[in-house]
Amino acid sequence: MPSTSSNQAAQNAAHPAAASEPRITVAPGFEWDQQDAYLFDIDGTLLRSWDRVHYDSFAASVRRITGFEVTLAGIPTAGSTDTAILRAACRQAGVPIEELEKHIDAILAAMCAGVAERRHEMRVALMPGVEDTLRYLAGRGKLLGVATGNLEVIGWIKIEQAGLREWFRFGGFSDRFPVRSELIAQAAQKARQMAGPEGFTGAHICVVGDTPRDIEAARANGLSVIAVATGHFTYEQLLELRPEVCVTSLADLLALTGRRA
């Protein structure tokens, strides 16, 4: 598994934007490292998976539980949730809605079990600057969590395989939330609870993500956003949605703002 410190060339190959000219836009008056809690997306933000373990789990689990054949071909996945992707794939394949609803819990459980069984096959690469950014924010006493469209078991497995588990204290996942704004709301509520009575209503919470859906979900919950162009969307596409911070990578965020982990 490449690391940001030992194999920058591999990181650049993993995402060409890592080798492009660093760019950053920060909203006037916004201090990106002065928030109380940060909710990090996983895929495209913290890491990239170079395997099909998670991807294959959808079709394999539906087949195993219902006998129907589904595919994710043609299904938009960037910024979506596992539960929403599953429903879309089943609709596309003509799986009767009553059949899906009857078995959805079993399908989701089978997805988690399948990924856990194949975790040794997973190949994940960290996005540029991830470890340094987490270390920097943790060193400033910030509360770090994940907010991801992954199912909880799958999300934590990816985090563990990437060697990042030590940094995160909580998470929001899609097991019960097909809509991304709902899982962001759950994660934000956890952050406020962990901040204690004084921080419950006044905690400043920031979403860190790589898709327009991350930005939209944060906005729906009144949260600030750091958008990183390390996924499938360009810097310009993310900037159009006016996040508080738009930057080419987390490594560039640290470097261009003069922060040191």
Instruction: Tell me the CATH number at 136.
Output: 3.40.50.1000
Kindly state the average pLDDT of the residues 166-181: 96
Do 156 and 39 share a structural domain? yes
Q: Which of 96, 121, 146 is the last residue of a domain?
A: 121
Is the predicted pLDDT of residue 254 greater than 60, yes or no? Answer: yes
Per residue in 208-226, pLDDT (tens digit) is 999 999 999 999 999 999 9
Do 229 and 137 share a structural domain? yes
Residue 227, domain member (yes or no) = yes
Do 63 and 130 share a structural domain? no
The whole-angstrom separation of Cα 22 and Cα 26 is 13
Per residue in 21-38, pLDDT (tens digit) is 999 999 999 999 999 999
Kindly state the average pLDDT of the residues 90-100: 96
- What are the angstrom distances between the C-alpha of 100 and each of 70, 84, 150, 153? 12, 12, 19, 21
Instruction: Give the structural domain span for 158.
Output: 8-48+125-256
The whole-angstrom separation of Cα 200 and Cα 203 is 6
